[in-house]
Amino acid sequence: MAVDVSRVRDVPLFAGLSDAQLAAIARRFEERHVLAGHNMTSQGGGGYYFFVIESGDARVSQGGEIVATFGPGDFFGEAAIFETLRRTATVTATTAVTVLAMFGADFAVLTSEIPELEQRIAAALVQRHPRTGSS
């Protein structure tokens, strides 16, 4: 079920996009709730969704080592959609979390339709995965 466009307007990844672009993004998101202690992704698992944290906090681990923390406005899942098809990290809710989730194929279509978004994702991939770069 789509989310209201107001919920994506303040996400830094989508900053400066047009109202029409934001509406297209919001239509493809669904809301999910995750309890503290639950994994939202598991390293090595299949990656079919892109996520934006709306509220709450999470930790990111690779090989059992915490490598980052995420909070509202942070996103994850892009590498599995655009590069590896497998999750590169485990993301675990450290508090109750509300995420906006989008099916990966929908997200790939959006990035091809919105060049600015594709550029931002490419930059995130390079920053988060410097050894693999972007494609």
Say if 73 falls within a structural domain: yes
Three-state secondary structure call for residue 81: helix
pTM as predicted? 0.90
Q: In sequence order, what are the residues at sequence separation of 6 or more whose Cβ sits closer than 8 angstroms to the Cβ of residue 65? A: none
pLDDT single digits (tens) 45-55:
988 999 999 99
- Identify the pLDDT of residue 131: 54
- Residue 112 is part of a domain; what is its CATH number? 2.60.120.10
Say if 9 falls within a structural domain: no
> Pick the residue with more confidence: 85 or 24?
24
- Domain span at residue 56 reads 32-128
